[in-house]
Chains A and B, each alone.
Chain A
Amino acid sequence: MGSAYLINLAFNGVILGLIVALAALSITLVFGIARFPNAATGDVATVGAFAGLAVTATGGGTAAILGFGVLTAAGLSLLFYLILFRGLADKPPVASLIASIGLAFFVRAVLTFFVGHNQQVYPLPIVRAVPFGPLRVQPTDLQVIAVAVLALAAVFALLHLTAIGRRMRAVADNPDLARASGIAATRVLVVMWLCAGALAGVSGTLLGIKTVVSPEMGWDLLMPAFAATILGTIGNPVGAVLGGLLIGLAQELSTPIVGFTYKIGVGFLVLLLMLLVRPQGLFAGNALVR
């Protein structure tokens, strides 16, 4: 008890924080480049998680869950851009926001129709937790951390080390100037939506591995992810990741005080205080993508 309990909570907070960070980075990429808060992010994550569940029926393990979940989410994200958000690009951002909320409800309704409301788990082998001093570590926890960190690193490498990443940052920074620089927005948007969908897919499948798979999981993930996005200054990728970690830690570490049921509210308390004190977020002024 005591410090050991807190250390275990903090460890859990980091894991959940990374999962929230993945979704938050997805939201912040879409906001930075397509310029609206995408409320369908969580439900794309859910579809990714269920796609992962589908491959377990054919005997797939963790790698298959992740691979298929991420590909499905990325494809779905691109599809939504092509059939919905591309047509709304010239309208005010609120049109895309409302459309994304409708899309979120639609995806969840369709999913629920086919799979029902029940919570399900990936049939992965149960492995004994390994103690590291006071910390009890599940081997799957280490996998989750490794995959999340790799996925986040891959996105930052894409943004900062590749030509398309440079162009994504350019479009996020100043769309008109990007046009005058001969940068075709469509190509940038296709890559961005694939990227945002893949991030949501990683987030959803990892959440499924860590907890359970249910049609509501993505919507429940969306709220802390939005909080993390705003906390880290909306449009700022580094801020989204740090915001996710903060929200994850705050939620887990508050469990002894507020109990399991209300820990989800702590993220919003943090967000509320943030909006009152520093509405531009923690990392305004050195945004990588504005």
Chain B
Amino acid sequence: MSTAELAVTGVQKRFGGVTVLDGVEFSCPADGLSGMIGPNGAGKSTLFAIITGFQAGDEGRIRFAGRDVTGLSAVERVHLGLGRTFQVPREFGSLSVRENLMAAAPGQSGENLLAAFLHPGRVRAEEAAIRERADAWLAFLNLAQVADTPAGRLSGGQRKLLELGRVLMLEPKMILLDEPFAGVNPVLIGEIAGRIRELSARGIGFLIVEHNLAALAALVNHMFVIDRGRLLAEGAPAAVLADPAVREAYMGGAA
């Protein structure tokens, strides 16, 4: 296995007496296009939260890009190149769309008040570069015309794109998307999928949790199935969706 991967081993998580994750193990290439499915309550969201450092697992390790990141904070994992979006799109509603992206740009010396006083020229040049990068991603995501709009006024679909833009500012190696197609109309699903494919071609990896199985199967090369806190199956999308055990989990297995 290459070191450029996301690897999860033996992750367990209990809430009170309920075991949500029961020793999940899987690994996927950090530059691949992978999907993750499973019935409601299978533990996908908790697994996402543990991988990205928003929650701590009870047991198990997370490795990313050749490092054990289990003990790192969410912010540290982001800076290693592991980005995420949220199931219900979130935005800094009172900031403009452009500011939403600019706030996420790493390594800003303008963050350091002392630097801002000592090297105003450098800080200003950096600001200009960050702004340029933000505008480039906004153009890529078709959001350029709303750059100065407060993010709280965007439509649901635009919010999904904005979340992607915010993560892209972080120069991620890999992005975990939590239901990017939920509540999005079919035209926009096509557009979002198109952007994901293009980013994947540029070398950014994706792991996508999604309930829209058809749209997901058409997008990803590899699929993981989580059921009752364990990895149930993995493989090519068509093979996974045809697997009787997977069908059983979706039809009859939801506890």
Given A176-B90, A184-B75; A191-B113 close (CB under 8 Å): yes
Complex contact B113–A169 (CB within 8 A): no
Within 8 A of A (CB), among B97-117: 99-100, 102-104, 106, 108-113, 116
Size category of the binding interface on chain B:
35 or more
B91 is an interface residue with CB less than 8 A from chain A: yes
A64-72, A241-249, A282-290: which lies at the interface:
A282-290
Complex contact B108–A182 (CB within 8 A): no
Given A163-B110, A169-B92, A173-B93; A183-B84 close (CB under 8 Å): no
Q: In whole angstroms, how far apart are the Cα atoms of A287 and B78 in the complex?
A: 28
Task: Note all chain A residues with C-beta closer than 8 A to B86.
Answer: 176-177, 180
B79 is an interface residue with CB less than 8 A from chain A: yes
Q: In whole angstroms, how far apart are the Cα atoms of A166 and B98 in the complex?
A: 11
Q: Which residue of B lies closest to A160 (CB)?
A: B99
Given A163-B110, A164-B113, A167-B111; A174-B78 close (CB under 8 Å): no
Complex contact B90–A174 (CB within 8 A): yes
Q: Which residue of B lies closest to A185 (CB)?
A: B75
Given A166-B99, A290-B94; A182-B79 close (CB under 8 Å): yes
Given A163-B110, A164-B113; A181-B94 close (CB under 8 Å): no
Size category of the binding interface on chain A:
20 to 34
A33 is an interface residue with CB less than 8 A from chain B: no
Task: Note all chain A residues with C-beta closer than 8 A to B112.
Answer: 164
B56 is an interface residue with CB less than 8 A from chain A: no
| Binary per-residue interface labels of chain A (130-168) against chain B in the complex, 1 for a CB within 8 Å, 0 otherwise | 000000000000000000000000000000001110110
Q: Among B52, B103, B111, B170, which residue has its beta carbon within 8 angstroms of that of A187?
A: B111
Q: Among B52, B93, B123, B126, which residue has its beta carbon within 8 angstroms of that of A180?
A: B52
B13 is an interface residue with CB less than 8 A from chain A: no
Q: Which residue of A lies closest to B171 (CB)?
A: A182
Complex contact A170–B111 (CB within 8 A): no
Within 8 A of B (CB), among A252-290: 287-290
A179 is an interface residue with CB less than 8 A from chain B: yes
Q: In whole angstroms, how far apart are the Cα atoms of A289 and B150 in the complex?
A: 12
Given A163-B108, A167-B111; A183-B94 close (CB under 8 Å): no
Given A163-B127, A166-B95, A177-B92; A182-B111 close (CB under 8 Å): no
Complex contact A177–B91 (CB within 8 A): yes
Question: Whole-angstrom distance from the CB of B159 to the nearest CB of chain A?
Answer: 11
Complex contact A162–B110 (CB within 8 A): yes
Task: Note all chain A residues with C-beta closer than 8 A to B52.
Answer: 180
Task: Note all chain A residues with C-beta closer than 8 A to B106.
Answer: 182
Question: Whole-angstrom distance from the CB of A180 to the nearest CB of chain B?
Answer: 6
Given A162-B116, A167-B111; A288-B94 close (CB under 8 Å): yes
Question: Whole-angstrom distance from the CB of B99 to the nearest CB of chain A?
Answer: 6
Q: Which residue of A lies closest to B73 (CB)?
A: A179
Given A163-B108, A167-B111; A180-B78 close (CB under 8 Å): yes
Question: Whole-angstrom distance from the CB of A28 to the nearest CB of chain B?
Answer: 14
Complex contact B78–A182 (CB within 8 A): yes
Q: Which residue of A lies closest to B100 (CB)?
A: A170
A interface residue numbers (CB < 8 A to B): 162-164, 166-167, 169-170, 173-174, 176-185, 187, 191, 287-290
B interface residue numbers (CB < 8 A to A): 52, 54, 73-75, 78-79, 83-86, 90-95, 99-100, 102-104, 106, 108-113, 116, 123, 126-127, 130, 166-167, 169-170
Excluding A163-B108, A163-B123, A174-B92, 7 further A-B contacts by CB distance (< 8 Å) are A169-B92, A174-B91, A177-B92, A180-B52, A180-B86, A180-B167, A181-B78
